[in-house]
Amino acid sequence: MDAVTGREKGGVLPDGLGAAIRGTAADIAALLEPGTDTRRRIPGAEWNVGEAAAHLASANVLMADIAEGRPRPYGDGTPQSLAEANARSLAEFTERAPAPLAAMIVDGAEACVRALETQDAPPGPVVSPLGPMSRPELGSYLLTHMLGHGYDLARALRRPHMVGRDRAALALPFLLRAMPRVAEASRVEGMNARYAVRLWGGGDFGVVVADGALSVAARPSDRPDCTIHIEPVTFLLMALGRQGQVGPLLRGRILVRGRRPWLAPRFPGLFTAP
């Protein structure tokens, strides 16, 4: 790490992001050992283990191509178009054996990190399935995507998941970029509110809803209507639609403050999980 910039060797990715991507890919690959029953269903999802792993393998290759500067159109950024693109990709990519998929997941993640870390990359944003992003944001996107589906695979296979606080914090840059794009128009319409979201252990941001539009800021408003203090893993799993809010509220993993605390239960519904 560079002691001045706080960035990893290569000068592009924030400290820890490359290692988190590689580590998450390795943790997912460890779930897909030879003999794994890839027909096992993922709780609460349409896919089975083999389909989720195949999606991850294809997505990691896609992310590597984007990082290397090769255009890869994949929907128009809306949840519906991404779901349709996912369905087409799974129909075309038929590998479901665990070992080849594990290798592809690791190789794709490694190729993406190498491309993101290079100093010779062209300047400017890259075009991801959720719109233009900086290279660090694309790395955060790759990590977030693997954490969500890796969590699904671990649950289906009844193994410990790989979502920890450090990795959840590294997912935040992507989530901040994506949130305005996945705002639910019908929930935002007619609403005016200022939220501050503060992650335990560090990291915060603001969300403003005004006149039918939602915006995200890297720093919260000085006078938020509602402040949500939340444990980082809980925040990530809720943001990805893997967890509801009732359980975390009862367990004290979400604390609410502010002049309009009743706005807190509405917050998750403002978004459609990407």
Domains by residue range for the chain, with CATH: 17-178 (1.20.120), 183-270 (3.30.1050.10)
Under 8 Å CB-to-CB from 246, ≥6 apart: which residues? Answer: none
Query: 10 Å Cβ neighbour count for 24?
Result: 24
pLDDT at 86: 94
The chain-wide mean pLDDT, for the chain, equals: 92
| CA neighbor of 268 nearest in space, from 165, 187, 208 | 187
Percent of the chain with pLDDT over 90: 83
Give the whole-angstrom CA distance, residue 255 versus residue 249. 7
Task: Report yes or no: 109 and 60 within 8 Å, Cβ to Cβ.
Answer: yes
pLDDT in tens, 131-181: 999 999 999 999 999 999 999 999 999 999 999 999 999 999 999 999 999
Please provide residue 271's backbone torsions phi and psi, each rounded to the nearest 5 degrees: -130, 150
pLDDT at 5: 38
Give the whole-angstrom CA distance, residue 36 versus residue 31. 8
pLDDT in tens, 24-73: 999 999 999 999 999 999 998 999 999 999 999 999 999 999 999 888 88
Which residues share a beta bridge with 214?
A: 209
Give the whole-angstrom CA distance, residue 179 versus residue 76. 15
User: What's the whole-number mean pLDDT along residues 213-227?
Assistant: 94
pLDDT at 10: 44
Task: Report yes or no: 31 and 157 within 8 Å, Cβ to Cβ.
Answer: yes
